[in-house]
Amino acid sequence: MRDEAVADLNTPEHAAVAFGQRPPFLFALLLALLVVLVIAICIGAIPLPLRGIFGLAQMSNMQDVVLYQIRLPRVVLAAIAGAGLACAGATLQALFRNPLADPSLIGVSGGAAVGAIFMIVLGAGFFSDALMPYLIPLAAVAGAIGITAMLYGFARWFGNFEVSTMLLVGIALNSISTVAIGAFQFLSDDTQLRTLVFWLMGSYGRATWVTVLPAVGVIVSAVLVLVSLGRKLDILQLGETEARHLSVDVDKLKRYTVIAAAAAVGAAVAVSGIIAFVGLIVPHIVRLIVGTSNRWVLPGAVLLGASLSVLADLVSRIIIVPAELPVGLVTSALGAPFFLWLIAVARPRT
Amino acid sequence: MIELRAVSTRYGKRDILNDIDLSITPGQIVGIVGPNGAGKSTLLHVIAGTLTPDVGEVALDGDALSSVSLLQQARRRAVMSQQITMAFAYRVHEVIAMGWEPFRELEPLEIELLRQVAETCGVQHLLQRRFDQLSGGERQRVQFARTSLQVEGITKQAHNGYWLLDEPTASLDIGFELAVLRQLRAVAVRGVGIGVVLHDLEKAARFCDVVALLNEGTMVAVGAPREVLTDTTLTRVYRTPIDIEWHEQRGRLLIHA
C-alpha cells in the first residue's frame, strides 16, 4: 500500500503523498485508538454497557463507581503511559540514529526507577503517606532527568558529543541503576519489597486520578515538544555536521529531545513501573504504516503507543480472571521475540 | 567572498593546517588538491565553519564566520561532505528535499524544482528508492542533488552563494564524474563560488579557475592551474617523478607519471 502511494511522483496527486503527507494514516490510527478505548472501558471483571458509558442509558451506582473511579483512570493511564513511552522511544531512536534505541537502553527508565524506589523505600520514614503519590513521580522524573543530565555531562567531558559516545555512557549508567535498584530492594522491608517487585514488573493496576492526572500533564507537555521536533530530527539523520550545514542547531535539538523524552519516561515509570519494549516496538510498526519521516512517525507513535498499551492492559486484566497479570509481562512476552527479529534485520548493512 | 586569513589548526601537537590564506570569489571554481593526508578535508571543514581554526580568521562576505547564524550560513552556502549513511529507510526524494530546510520558512519547496534538480543530477529514476539500499556512487549522486537543491535556494535569495564539496566524484564512474564537474561549471557561471576538493589533477586543471595545492598542511601554491601544476612542484609534492604536458589545442593537462 505504501509503495503504491509513493510509486509515482509524476502526477500531482501522488506527489503530495510522496512528499510524506500522510494524515489519512494518522486519522486511521486515531480512529483505532478511540475504538480500543471504548472496548477497554466496557470490558472487565464488571462489564459496562456501551450505551451507559456514553450516558445514553442509566447505570447502577456500582457501575458508575467502576467507570469513574476504577476503569477510566486505569485506561487513561495505560493510554498516556503508552503514548509517552512510544513517542520517547521514537525520538531517542532518531536522536541516536539507531533503530534499537529505547528509553531503557540509554538508562532513562532505570534512572526513573531508581528515583521512584528511592522515594518508596527511604521517603516513607520522612514524609506522610498523603504526600507520596506526588513525591514518587517527582522523584522518578528527577531520576530520569538526572541520569540524562549525567549522560550529557559525561559525553561533554569526553570531549565530543557524538552519538555513539552517548550510547556507551548510557549503557554504563544503566548498570549503575541496576546496582542502585538492587541495593534499595535489599534495604526494603517485606511489604515494601512486595510493592517494589510488582511495580518493577509494570502495572496500570493501581491507577487513581490522584496519581494519573499529574502524569497526564507531564506526558502531554513532553509529547507536544517532541512531536514539534520531528522535522529537525529527520535532518539530523544526515549526520550532525550535515544538519548544522542545513541550519539545525544540533546541540539545542539534543537538549530539548533528551529533557522532554526523560520527562515523559519518568512520569510513565513513576505511575506504572517499567513497561518494557513499548518504546522499541511501536515506532517500528508505525514506520511500516506512515513511512520514515519523524513528522508522521512521532504523532503516529503517540496514537499507536496508546492503543497497544491499552490493549496489552486489557489482555492482562482478562487473561486469567479473576487474577491479573502485570502488563509489563504481557508487553515483554510480545516484545522480546520482536526485539530478536529486529536485531536480525537491523544488522549493519555494508 | 569567503576568505581565510593566516589559518592554522592543530590536532594535539600536530599541525594539520599551517598559516593558510585562501579566498573563494563568487563565480569562481577553486580546486583544492594535494596528496593523501595533506589536510584538504580539514581545510574544507574550516571553510565550511564545521571546524574553528586555532589561529586566523574565516570571513563570509566580510563578516567573521563565527558571528553569522547557522541559518544565515545555510542560506548562503551548501556543503557536500564525504559519504553519508542513514539508519532509517528514507526515500531518496525525502533526502533531497532536506536540502530545502533553510528556505522552508521563506517559501515552500516546489515539487517541480525538486524534480528538475533530480533530473539535472541524474537521479530522477532513484526518487522512490530507499536511500539506505543505494550503492555508494548512487548515494553520492543523491547527496550532490540534495546540496544542489540547497544551492538553488541560495541563488533565489540573490545573495552571493557558495558551494563546498569534498571529493564529490570519489565513487563515480567517468560519465557521472564529468557530469558533476560540468554542472559545477554551469552553477559557477550563475555566480556561485565553488570550493571543491579533487584528487584528479587533470580534472582540476580542466574545470577549476584557481587551484590550491596543499602539502602537509601548508599551501604550496595558489593560482591558475597552469602556474600551480608544474613538473617540479608536483614531483616534489607527490614524491614521484611527474611529467606534465599541456594539450594546447584543447587547453587540457595531461599527466605522465
Residue A13 has pLDDT above 90, yes or no: no
Interhelix angle B136-156/B111-120, nearest 10 degrees: 130
| Interface predicted TM-score (ipTM) | 0.92
* pLDDT for A319: 86
Q: What cell was used for B110?
A: 516546489
Q: Do B87 and A12 touch (CB under 8 A)?
A: no
Instruction: Name the phi and psi angles at B250, rounded to 5.
Output: -95, -5
Angle CA(A20)–CA(A258)–CA(A133) in degrees, nearest 5? 115
Min Cα separation A223/chain B (Å): 22
What does chain A come to in residues?
350
CA distance A237 to chain B (A): 6
B149 versus B247: the higher-pLDDT residue is: B149
The residue among A349 and A284 whose pLDDT is bigger is A284
Q: Is the entire prediction scored with pTM above 0.90?
A: no
Q: Residues B44-99: pLDDT tens digits?
A: 999 999 999 999 999 999 999 999 999 999 999 999 987 888 889 999 999 999 99
CA dihedral defined by A306, A301, A259, A185, rounded to 10 degrees? 50
B168: preceding bond cis by omega (within 30 degrees):
no
Which chain A residues are Cβ-neighbours of B99 within 8 angstroms?
A: 246
In which residue are the cell numbers 450516558 written? A55
Residue B161 in contact with residue B191, Cβ under 8 Å? yes
Helix (H, G, I), strand (E, B) or coil at B256: strand
Across the interface, whether the CB atoms of B86 and A238 are under 8 A apart is answered yes
In this predicted model, what pLDDT tens digit does every residue of B146-195 receive, in sequence order?
A: 999 999 999 998 778 999 999 999 889 999 999 999 999 999 999 999 99
Contact A247 B102 (CB under 8 A): yes
Quick: pLDDT tens for A276-329.
Answer: 889 989 999 999 889 899 999 999 999 999 999 999 999 998 888 778 888 888
C-beta atoms of B84 and A239 within 8 A: yes
In this complex, the residue of A9, A98, A231 whose CB is nearest that of residue B127 is A9
Element (H, E) at B221: strand B218-223
Tens digit of pLDDT for each residue in A32-48?
999 999 999 999 888 89
Cell numbers describing residue A182? 538492587
Kindly calculate the radius of gyration of chain B based on its CA atoms and give it in whole angstroms. Answer: 18
Q: Is the pLDDT of residue A4 over 70?
A: no
More confident residue, B9 or A341: B9
Q: Is B94 close to A238, i.e. CB distance below 8 A? A: no
- Tell me if B132 and A349 make a contact (CB, 8 A cut-off): yes
Q: What percent of chain A has pLDDT over 70?
A: 89
pLDDT at B11: 83
Long-range CB pairs of A312-321, under 8 A, 24+ apart, other chains included: A312/A78, A312/A82, A313/A40, A313/A74, A313/A75, A313/A78, A313/A204, A314/A39, A314/A40, A314/A43, A316/A203, A317/A43, A317/A44, A317/A45, A318/A43, A318/A44, A321/A45
Q: CA of A202 to nearest chain B CA: how many angstroms apart?
A: 30
CA distances from A98 to A90, A94, A105 (A): 10, 7, 11
Report how far residue B198's alpha carbon sits from residue B167's, in angstroms, rounded to the nearest whole number. Answer: 5
Taking CA–CA distances from B91, the nearest residue in chain A reads A292
